[in-house]
Amino acid sequence: MITLGIETSCDETAVALVEQGRVLSCEVSSSVGLHSFYGGVVPEIASRYHTEYIFSVAAKALEDAGRTARDIGLIAVTVSPGLPGSLLVGIAFARALGFALDVPVMGVDHLIGHLVSCFLKTEERPGSGERYPFVGVVLSGGHTSIYEVRSARDIDLIGSTRDDAVGEAFDKVAKLLDLGYPGGPEVERLAGKFRGDDIIDFPRALLRDKDDLDFSFSGIKTAVMYHWKTSEKGIREKERICHSFQRAVTDVIKQKIMRAVRRTGMSKVAAGGGVLNNLVLRTELTELSKTGGLDLYLSPIEYSGDNAAMIASLGEELYIMGERACVI
Ligand code: KG4
Ligand code: ZN
């Protein structure tokens, strides 16, 4: 059975085809360039973009896979969380297509999709149960969460951010330093240029209580703001701030993951979301997996940001498990 996935929860219009957990095509068109002028996603612009491009993105995904709409056996679409106007475009498109083709439409959760993205290039087939259990970590622009995942349908949230998401913190620091939007890649680039040992000791929040799995990134963002206000303006100082910020954030993520591993007794960890594009974070987590004895799965770079392959794969897995909670 071929599953067509649709993702329009934020600023990416994405459609993908998946069969037995294998990605046949994965098409993404982003409106991110239109938002950069405003320093963040403008919901109205995002929804209009989805409306304009969803059809051509779907057509391209079918063409890339060498299939036609008649080959589709299931449609999976992101139903939450996300910008309401953006979600609506994907859901309406999915329902219309499902109605026309007479195939079921499965609504899925975007964040669990980010976790499933970790397995898109592995041999662990959906529905076989061999992926589970694991500690799931979502590090994105809108969310920072830790889950105890026993199956695609049996998931408990055990930690989340109390204020900003980690990607949002990268974006806000970038905005403070006038680095453009989205900020993550640029903060990482400048951090990599820093040479020196005068690292700024930015605050690492919520580490005192050894059982606390929550995150907080608003304090570090404010600390960056005050530091930048009083420091000498220049590229070297920006590099120093980016490096120190990235190091502090990475430290916190590592510590929280190890706490979740201890709390759950699970040594398998899967981490996905746009922030997993960060190579320093990936390297640090890989190191941690060696010293901490973890069985670590990171979302492949091409599936770390928002995409529809993860949505199709999750929909397929839920369908195989007998889930029929369809949106149509
Ligand atoms: O998962 P995603 O594509 O969209 C959401 O569901 O939010 O994540 C986007 C976030 C943005 O905040 C962006 O700045 C961040 O991921 N990001 C990065 C990097 N690349 C993207 N953060 C840190 N380092 C990066 N290289
Ligand atoms: Zn996302």
Determine what percent of the chain is predicted with pLDDT higher than 70.
99
Q: Tell me, in angstroms, the distance from the centre of ligand 1 to residue 206's CA.
A: 22
Residues in the chain: 328
- For residue 306 and ligand 1, the question of a CB distance below 6 A is answered with yes
Closest ligand, as measured to the CA of 143: 1
Confidence band of 127 (pLDDT split at 50, 70, 90):
confident
Q: Which residue minimizes the CA distance to atom 14 of ligand 1?
A: 184
Mean pLDDT across the stretch 141-170?
96
* Per-residue confidence band for 39, with pLDDT thresholds at 50, 70 and 90: confident
Work out the angle at residue 274's Cα, subtended by the Cα atoms of residues 249 and 311, and round it to the nearest 5 degrees.
140
Per-residue model confidence as pLDDT tens digits over 283-296: 999 999 999 999 99
Q: Pick the residue whose CA is nearest to atom 23 on ligand 1.
A: 184
Ligand 1: centre distance to CA 246 (Å)? 13
From the CA of 274, how far away is ligand 2's center (Å)? 7
Residue 210's pLDDT band (cuts 50, 70, 90): confident
Give the mean model confidence (pLDDT) for residues 24-32: 94
Closest to 257 measured CA to CA, from 218, 284, 221, 219: 284
Say what the pLDDT of residue 72 is.
Answer: 98
Give mean pLDDT, residues 209-226.
Answer: 95
Give the pLDDT mean for 128-141.
93
Is 171 a pocket residue for ligand 1 (Cβ < 6 Å)?
yes
Q: Tell me, in angstroms, the distance from the centre of ligand 2 to residue 79's CA.
A: 12
Closest atom of ligand 1 to 272 CA is 1
What's the CA-to-centroid distance between 62 and ligand 1, angstroms?
27
For ligand 1, whether the C-beta of 10 sits within 6 Å is yes
Q: Is the pLDDT of residue 125 over 60?
A: yes
**Any ligand 1 atom below 6 A from CB of 113:** no
Q: What's the confidence (pLDDT) of residue 239?
A: 98
Inter-residue contact 296 to 319 (CB < 8 Å): no
Distance (Å, whole) CA 206 – CA 190: 27
The answer, yes or no, to whether any atom of ligand 1 lies below 6 A from the CB of 183, is yes
Q: Are 115 and 145 in contact (CB under 8 A)?
A: no
Residues by chain with Cβ below 5 Å of ion ligand 2: 140, 306
Q: Of all protein residues, whose CA lies closest to atom 1 belonging to ligand 1?
A: 274
Q: How many CB atoms lie within 10 A of CB 104?
A: 16
Count the neighbouring beta carbons within 10 Å of the beta carbon of residue 200. Answer: 16
Specify the pLDDT at position 325.
Answer: 67
Average the pLDDT over each of 35-49, 68-82, 230-244 and give the range with the smallest value. 35-49
Residue 57's pLDDT is what? 98
Which residue CA neighbors atom 22 of ligand 1 most closely? 184
**From ligand 1's centre to the CA of 320, what distance in Å?**
31
Q: What confidence score (pLDDT) does residue 126 get?
A: 81
Tens digit of each residue's pLDDT (9 = 90 or more) over 55-102: 999 999 999 999 999 999 999 999 999 999 999 999 999 999 999 999
Residue 326 has pLDDT above 80, yes or no: no
CA of 184 to the centre of ligand 1 (A): 6
CA 143 to ligand 1: nearest atom? 7
pTM recorded for the entire structure: 0.95
Q: Is there an atom of ligand 1 within 6 Å of 272 CB?
A: no
How much is the pLDDT for 129?
80
Contacts of 251 by beta carbon, 8 Å cutoff, 6+ apart:
204
Q: What is the residue type of 267?
A: S
Q: Which of 241, 242, 253, 259 is nearest to 286 (CA)?
A: 253
Is 70 exceeded by the pLDDT of residue 207?
Answer: yes
**Substitution candidate for ligand 1 out of 138, 140, 176, 303 with most atoms within 8 A of CB:** 140
Query: Measuring from atom 10 of ligand 1, which residue has the nearest CA?
Result: 141
Give the dihedral sign, CA 54/60/63/64: negative
**What's the pLDDT band for 107 if we cut at 50, 70, 90?**
very high
Ligand nearest to the CA of 169: 1
* Mean pLDDT of the residues in the chain: 95
DSSP secondary structure string for all residues of 92-121: HHHHHHHHHHT--EEEEEHHHHHHHGGGTT
- Helix, strand, coil % over all residues of the chain, rounded to 5: 50, 20, 30
